[in-house]
Amino acid sequence: MGSRVMAAVEKEPMNPELQRLRDSIDNIDAALIHILAERFKCTKTVGVLKAELGLPAADPAREAQQIARLRTLAGDAKLDPDFAEKFLDFIVEEVIRHHEAINASARAPQR
């Protein structure tokens, strides 16, 4: 009987417009995940290259350019530019974490 109750809960009528929007959000999220995977492939290669070239993980001048560009793109796309900047901060924080890990593993054999 418990499973029949669960089935009833799962089949609770969903507003069709809400369902349609959630389906779109799910499609968009799948796109975001795959694009983010590609972005981290790029930044991991950048991390290896920077370690080889002896460049620091963080690059404030590059980040300032990226922030300014993304704020403009966000404004054109009617996305809050402050959110776009927070979003880039969030991604760059993860990238720097990856780069520091690459640097740490590059240094390890010299010990």
Report yes or no: 77 and 63 within 8 Å, Cβ to Cβ.
no
**The two three-digit tokens of residue 71, written as one number:** 């704020």
Query: How far apart are alpha carbons 34 and 71 in whole angstroms?
Result: 23
Q: Give me the least distance between CB of 29 and a second copy, in Å please.
A: 6
CA 54 to mean position of chain CA atoms: 26
Q: Which residues bind a second copy (CB under 8 A)?
A: 15, 17-18, 21-22, 24-26, 28-40, 42-43, 45-46, 49-50, 53, 62, 66, 69-70, 73-74, 77-79, 83-84, 87-88, 90, 94
Nearer to a second copy, 10 or 110 (CB): 10
Q: Give me the least distance between CB of 53 and a second copy, in Å please.
A: 6
